[in-house]
Amino acid sequence: MVRTKGKIFIADTDQKSIVLIKDALKAQGYTVSSALNGVKALELIIEQLPDIILLGMELPIIDTEKLRDIISTNPRTDKLACIFMGTPEQIKSVSAMGEKVITKPFRIDALINTMSAIYQKRQKAIELSRENKEIEGNLSQISLVDLIQIFSMNKKDGTITIYSDKGNGFIYLQEGGIINATFEKVEGVKAFYRLLAVRNGKFEFIPHRALTPTRITSTTESLLMEGMRHIDETKKNKNILPSMESRVKLKKKLSELPKQVRTITQEVLLLLEFYDKVEDIVDNCTFPDYDVLRVLVALIEKGIIEIIKQAQPKQGTTGAGILANEEVFKLLEIVSVNKHTKLESHRGRIIVLSANYNSLKTFVNGINSMPRFVLNSSFAIANRDDVFFGEVGMLTLTELLGIEILSVPPLIEYGPLWLALSNSTVGAVIVFDKGSKDILGPFLNAVNKFREARSLPVAYVFVTPDQVESKGKTVPTLRKLLAAGNEDPVFVFDKDSADSMNVIPALLRKVISI
């Protein structure tokens, strides 16, 4: 005896097809009923609420597409699975809309397999919609698209975790809407599209209120449609798009290129300063992968970049050898506030507040050994006892980004300047020495006023002519004296110190991390 499965309804004008399908499905354990026109079909569908509805494309009285619209908008039937049957020409319109279709003529075994797969997915969907606990399964049993649609339809809160051989990812839901996604080191829409491409792996759903920033604001439906389009277009244009292993290079200097280009194009061109491998450019660009690859194709066609054969990969650091590529790129993002001017030259600024000229000179002499740091001539020839005001040097990180080191007197009367120098100032260095002890109180008071006026990352430098044997004890003492937080870098310069090379990189990394 065949065990009874679900209910299937067939609406078609072809009675021979109805009989053939009925007999085959009943043999598989399904309960099957049918109708020859749209009116009778609608009546029976509402009465029976079948699991799956098979609709022929030429129903009379109420035509097929009108019947589908009624079913999909009726709260009693809107969750029923509809499949359309017809010739390739008949099903063309519904197929283009993403509906499930069966092409006539069909093989009965293929039809049964299709129906069985849809029925199993529907049963899994019902099970998931009823559960309000942790759920796990295999993506071969139910696709990620189906999972998301189920959770969206049931307005679930929680996190879908995807485990695959390509890495692990997370999709965060709030009232059924997708608010964020992460996959390896990318997040947002870019990560979501990558996760949609995962076909094999396991999933886990944990219901909870996800604590994550909202990075995605599009509707679930539009996200799924656009994500699937990206996947389809990537496959279709595989021979046109550059491979991830390809290496490319700029044929022109960035300064020679038009400045007013799309934001994504600017970002790709900037990344070409730091990376030559397509995979690295795609990974580090904030835009979806397919869009980045299309920009690369356009730049190749316009002769702005070219594919390199057997190229040597770029080194891990470009930013004057003191910062990694991705760090310089993030810093440029911070300094170039206007997204439409990223391809122009940008200058960041670090303000130095020093207690006296001697400590400032010792500090500047130390950082003068940094690659691509140029000492300002006016500071180099200065000889004074008071505090210097002006540029002490420039650190060039890339063709488009330089960091100006500017000395400002730590005096209350210079307060108006602190805000006037706001633009592009990314951090401050506080420099003092043992000779500052007589003025340390007023000095630190001015520093505190500066920090109140300007919320900036800060690094402290203590200059001493004596060799410091235990910096592990000295630094905590200085932190207490300065009332510095644990997150503020503190450096000690003695006569044998090699820390001078680390101050500016440490401060810039703090800028990037905020």
Q: Residue 100 forms beta bridges with which residues?
A: 83
| Model pLDDT, residue 335 | 82
**Fold type of domain 247-314:** Arc Repressor Mutant, subunit A (1.10.10)
Interatomic CA distance for residues 115 and 32, integer angstroms: 12
Q: Is the peptide bond before 416 cis (omega within 30 degrees of 0)?
A: no
| Model pLDDT, residue 163 | 92
User: Do residues 62 and 70 touch, judged by C-beta distance below 8 A?
Assistant: yes
User: Do residues 180 and 214 touch, judged by C-beta distance below 8 A?
Assistant: yes
| Model pLDDT, residue 299 | 92
Residue 307 three-state SS:
strand
Residue 420 three-state SS:
helix
| Model pLDDT, residue 416 | 72
| Model pLDDT, residue 162 | 93
Sort strands 346-354 and 401-407 into parallel, antiparallel or unpaired.
parallel
- Determine if the pTM surpasses 0.95: no
Q: Which residue has the tokens 């060799």?
A: 467
Interatomic CA distance for residues 451 and 434, integer angstroms: 22
Indicate where the chain has its CATH 1.10.10 domain(s).
247-314
Q: How many Cα atoms within 13 Å fall on the side-chain side of residue 52?
A: 25
Pick the CATH number of 7-124 from 3.40.50.2300, 3.40.50.300, 1.20.200.10, 3.40.47.10: 3.40.50.2300
Q: Which residue has the tokens 């209910």?
A: 7
Is 334-513 a domain of CATH 3.60.20.10? Answer: no
Kind and range of the H or E element at 175? none
| Model pLDDT, residue 1 | 41
**Sign of dihedral through CA atoms 334, 337, 339, 341?**
negative
pLDDT in tens, the chain (514 residues): 445 578 999 999 988 889 989 988 888 888 999 999 999 999 999 888 898 899 998 899 888 888 988 888 887 887 788 889 888 888 887 776 667 888 888 888 888 888 888 887 777 666 665 555 577 888 887 889 888 988 888 888 889 999 998 889 999 999 889 999 999 889 999 999 999 999 889 998 888 887 788 999 999 989 999 999 999 999 999 999 999 999 998 888 777 777 778 889 888 988 887 788 999 999 988 899 999 999 999 999 999 999 887 555 555 455 556 788 778 888 887 887 655 566 677 888 888 888 888 888 888 888 888 888 888 877 766 666 556 788 888 988 887 788 999 888 887 777 777 667 766 788 888 888 877 777 777 888 888 787 777 778 888 888 877 665 556 667 777 777 777 777 788 888 766 566 677 888 888 888 887 6
Kind and range of the H or E element at 195? helix 189-196
Interatomic CA distance for residues 214 and 111, integer angstroms: 43
| Model pLDDT, residue 338 | 59
Indicate where the chain has its CATH 3.40.50.2300 domain(s).
7-124
Residue 168 three-state SS:
strand
Locate 360 and state its tokens: 């400032």
Indicate where the chain has its CATH 3.40.50.300 domain(s).
334-513
